[in-house]
Structure formats: C-alpha cells, structure tokens
Amino acid sequence: MLTPFTGGCACGAIRYRCDAEPLLVLNCHCRDCQRASGTAFAAIIRVPATAFTVTQGIAKFFTVTGNSGNTVSRGFCPECGSPLFSRLSGMPNFVGLRVGSLDDPSPYRPTMDIFVTSAQPWDHMNPQLPKFPGYPKAVGPERT
C-alpha cells in the first residue's frame, strides 16, 4: 500500500490520513465485528497510532468489552454512520482502519483470518490464509 493513504466516511464529514505502511492486514470474524459490519467479518488494517490523523470532523465512538476484559472503541461518523476506525485497549499503539473507509481499498490483501471460532458457517474464507481462533500470540491480546 502506498503511503500516505487517506480515507473517510460516506458523507465526507470525517476524513483521515495515515503516513505509515499497515502493520497488520486481516479479516476479523468475531461476533462484535460481525455486528459492527453487518456481515460475516470486518476487513481491517492496523497502523501505528502515531502515523494516523483525523484531518476533518469528529468521530463518535461506541465501546464494548470483550471476553478478555479488553475494550474496543469503534469510531464512526455521527452523520452517516460509516464505520471508520477502532482502538483496542490491549493494543494502544495501533489504530484499526476499516478497509471500506479507505479512498482506495483495492490494494487490500488480507494475510490472515482471526477469531475464526466465531465465523459463520456460510462464510467461505480463503483457504490459503492462516486461521487463528483469536489473535495470534505475537500480534496482540488473546481476545478483544
């Protein structure tokens, strides 16, 4: 993915910029991501928090507590409801960007599927991607 890259909501009220390459590129199949996305999984890229800037508008956040006790705060546009980004209490140095909110999501190439124990039976995942029941130990918290 070329840097910098930008994104925002459907109505244009919120815009963001990232000045670093993604550190992690994944599909999350946890129930919280299913509910937040309205489908089988959330396509997410994790970037360094220090490289991420909201350049226009103010997102509203909804926070939930996962099975581990960690919280995930999901930012969305208060005008149009577009999901934009998230922050995990167990990974404070990273921001998760919703791939659909990128101005150009075409370079997205997931490298793994996580929380596959929550995946829906009708979700046909790419068999070539590694599958993890939660976060891989080297990546982050056991469960958000």
What average pLDDT does range 11-23 have in this prediction? 96
Backbone φ/ψ region at 115: left (φ over 0), alpha (ψ -120 to 50), beta: left
pLDDT for residue 138 = 62
Number of domains in the chain: 1
More reliable by pLDDT, 109 or 144:
109
User: DSSP per residue over 81-140, as a string?
Assistant: --EEEEEETTEEEEEEEEGGGBS--TT----EEE-GGG--TT----TTS-B-SSS-TTTS
Contact between 19 and 4 under an 8 Å Cβ cutoff? The reply is yes
Provide the β-strand partners of residue 45: 25, 97
Least confident of 90-94, 121-125, 137-141: 137-141
Query: Domain span at residue 69?
Result: 5-118
pLDDT for residue 144 = 38
pLDDT for residue 142 = 40
Q: Is residue 141 part of a domain?
A: no
Residue range 38-73, pLDDT digits in tens:
999 999 999 999 999 999 999 999 999 876 678 999
Residue range 79-118, pLDDT digits in tens:
999 999 999 998 899 999 999 999 999 999 999 999 999 9
Q: Is residue 139 part of a domain?
A: no
pLDDT for residue 23 = 93
Q: Is residue 76 part of a domain?
A: yes
Closest among 51, 73, 38 to 1, alpha carbons compared: 51
pLDDT for residue 34 = 93
Residue range 26-43, pLDDT digits in tens:
999 999 899 989 999 999
Q: What is the CATH number of the domain that holds 90?
A: 2.170.150.70
Q: Is residue 140 part of a domain?
A: no
Angstrom distance (rounded) from CA 110 to CA 15: 23
pLDDT for residue 143 = 37
Contact between 110 and 126 under an 8 Å Cβ cutoff? The reply is yes
Q: Is residue 126 part of a domain?
A: no
Q: Is residue 135 part of a domain?
A: no
Count CA atoms closer than 13 A to 21's CA, side-chain side: 4
Angstrom distance (rounded) from CA 26 to CA 118: 15
